[in-house]
Amino acid sequence: MTTPRYTRRRFLGTAAAGAATLSAPAILRRAHAQGGEVNVWTYANFVPDSFREQFEAETGIKVNIRLVDDQGKQFNLLAAETPNPTADIVTVAGHRFLQFIDSDLLAPLDTDRLTHWGNINPTFSESDWATINGNKWGAPILSGMEVLAYNTDVVSAEEARSWDVLFADKYAKQTAYIIQDMMSIIMLKLGYDGNMVAYLDDPAEAARIVEEAKQYLIDRKPLVRKYYDGGAEVQQMFINQDIVVGHAWNGPIATLINDGLPVDMTIPKEGSYGFVYTYNVTNNGPNADNAYTFLDAILASSEIGAMMTRASGFISTYKDAARHLTEIERKSTSFTDEELAGLRFFRAEANEMKYGLVDPAVEAIKAA
């Protein structure tokens, strides 16, 4: 980078100062010092520090943030707290809604109470996965997708046009992927519906497809270096040159690119899946009114969305958020129309059937 180097926190701080002046009036006029508090469970940096300070100063509502590091743990924790959760807002990945809804952990979102709902790009706010049982359940904030990432010094963009490069002999023992996610992608690659919604009425067919995908990955197990779990792992593998090509989420790869590493990512021609992180209001949370005040405030300015993108590498769902990003940040968080054409969203309808089949398959692949 040619810009002067700051620590990440300080960098955010300077960017935030601009945001503060921009978004200040919008929040202030509606909310007259309510006081109290709001409890938010979210990932590190999903609530920008500067926004939090400003929000607290203007509304008198104290924001308590509880840091979570994965969806499963958050679900378990919230489930362990029912029926009287301490959380008002949780951060759920859209395709996991159903699990939370089925366990009565979320309250339907009353979008009429959010004056800034319109600031969200309709691609996300009005998408089909966002409505379940006739209700909206969360405010989309960041969007991620399953991508193919590769070391540009070794792998050519041409090779990376297909998921097949992950299984090429040429790169044997230099690849890595998350098996669960890879199962969906393999199903898609083999010409099936990786969401399995199409097979809801035909469990036998669903089982056969999962079996086929499982066998596909077992046959190619000798070629893989590592089945990994977290974004930090795949980043470190690229830095350490343990792998040259891998499946990953766009967020961690975008931050690698922004740091100047010779890495790029793409959505291969077979297509891929996307997901959306949303802020959700919990069922029976202690401060529901403050939760809405918080949601409305955080949706107020596209600059807040840009800050989230900068910290996480995921793509903002806010209209115009990209305007506030630097060129390299914009580049690392955008895809061509051709790539996006192959993208579809994860859907939750068939999750129970899907994961009932996929989870044992994953264990079988690991044990094979």
Partner 1 sequence: MRDGGDASAGAEPPAGGATGWGKLVGFAPYQAFVALVCASPRRQFFLLAAFPAIWVLSQHLGPIVQMLYVSFTDAYPVTSGVEPRLTLENYRRFFDEAFYRVPFYRTLVFATTFTLATLVITYPVAYFLTRIVSRRNRLLMLLLLLIPFWVGEIVRTFAIMILLGNNGAVNLLLKWLGLIERPIPFMYTGFSISVGIIYLTALYMLLPLYSALEKLPRSYGEAAADLGAGPFTRFRRVTLPLTLEGIASGCILVFLISTGFYGTPVLLGGPSTTVFAETIAGFFHVAGDEWPTGAAFATIMFSTVLVLVLVFQRFMTSLRKGDTR
Partner 2 sequence: MSRGVRVAFSCCYWAFVVYVFVPLVLMMLMGFKDSKFIGFPIKSWTLDWYLGLFGDARILSAFGYSVAIAVLSTLISIVVGTWIALLIDGHKFFGRAAMFGLALLPALVPGIISAIAFRIYARLLGIEPGMFAIIWAHAIHNVPFVALIVMARLSTLPRSQTEAARDLGADPLVTFLRITVPWLLPAILGASIFCLLLSFDDFVRSFFLGGYQPTLPVLIFAELRSGMSPEINAIATFAVVLTAALGLWAERFTRRMNRAPER
Cross-strand bridge partners of residue 37: 62
Compute how many residues bind partner 1; rule: CB under 8 A.
40
**Residue with Cβ nearer partner 1 (226 or 319):** 226
3-state secondary structure 52-101: HHHHHHHHCCEEEEEECCCHHHHHHHHHHHCCCCCCCEEEEEHHHHHHHH
What residues form DSSP beta bridges with 249?
146
- Determine if 145 is a binding residue for partner 2 (CB under 8 A): no
Q: Please identify, among the stretches 125-133, 158-166, 224-232, 334-342, the one whose residues bind partner 2 according to the rule CB under 8 A.
A: 224-232
Tell the residue number behind the tokens 């362990």, with chain if given: 80
Number of residues that bind partner 2 (CB under 8 A): 39
Residue 330 interaction partner, one of partner 1, partner 2, none, beta carbon < 5-8 Å per kind: none
What is the dihedral angle through the alpha carbons of 5, 7, 12, 14, rounded to the nearest 10 degrees? -60
Selected range binding partner 2 among 147-155, 183-191, 233-241, 296-304, rule: CB under 8 A: 233-241
The correct pick among 5, 32, 134, 201 for binding partner 2 (CB under 8 A) is 5
Residue 148-177 contact track with partner 1, rule CB under 8 A, x = bound: -------------------------x----
The stretch near partner 1 (CB under 8 A) out of 66-74, 126-134, 290-298, 340-348 is 66-74
Q: What is the residue type of 186?
A: I
- Minimum distance, C-beta of residue 63 to partner 2, in the bound complex (Å): 10
8 binds partner 1 (CB under 8 A): no
State yes or no: residue 262 binds partner 1 (CB under 8 A): no
Q: Which stretch binds partner 1 (CB under 8 A): 101-109, 152-160, 304-312, 338-346?
A: 101-109
The stretch among 21-29, 76-84, 119-127, 277-285 that binds partner 2 (CB under 8 A) is 76-84
Contact between 68 and partner 2 (CB under 8 A)?
A: yes
Beta strand 226-227 with 175-177 is: parallel
Q: Which stretch binds partner 1 (CB under 8 A): 86-94, 205-213, 237-245, 291-299?
A: 237-245
Contact 163, 148 (CB under 8 A): yes
106 contacts 135 by C-beta, under 8 angstroms: no
CB of 317 to partner 2, least distance (A): 18
Selection from 121, 129, 145, 128 nearest residue 317 by Cα: 121
Q: How far is residue 243's CA from residue 259's CA, in Å, rounded to a whole number?
A: 18
Residue 364 binding partner 1, by CB under 8 A? yes
Spell out the alpha helix ranges (H) of the chain: 8-30, 49-59, 71-81, 97-102, 122-125, 179-189, 203-219, 231-239, 250-258, 288-298, 302-312, 327-332, 337-341, 351-367
Neighbours of 84 (CB within 10 A): 8
Which sign, positive or negative, has the C-alpha torsion 202, 94, 234, 309? Answer: positive
Contact set with partner 1 (CB under 8 A) = 70-73, 75-76, 79-80, 82-83, 96, 99, 102-104, 173, 180, 221, 224-227, 229, 232-233, 236-237, 239-242, 355, 359-360, 362-364, 366-368
Contact set with partner 2 (CB under 8 A) = 5-10, 39, 43-45, 64-69, 73, 76-77, 80-81, 86, 230-232, 235-236, 239-240, 252, 255-256, 258-261, 311-313
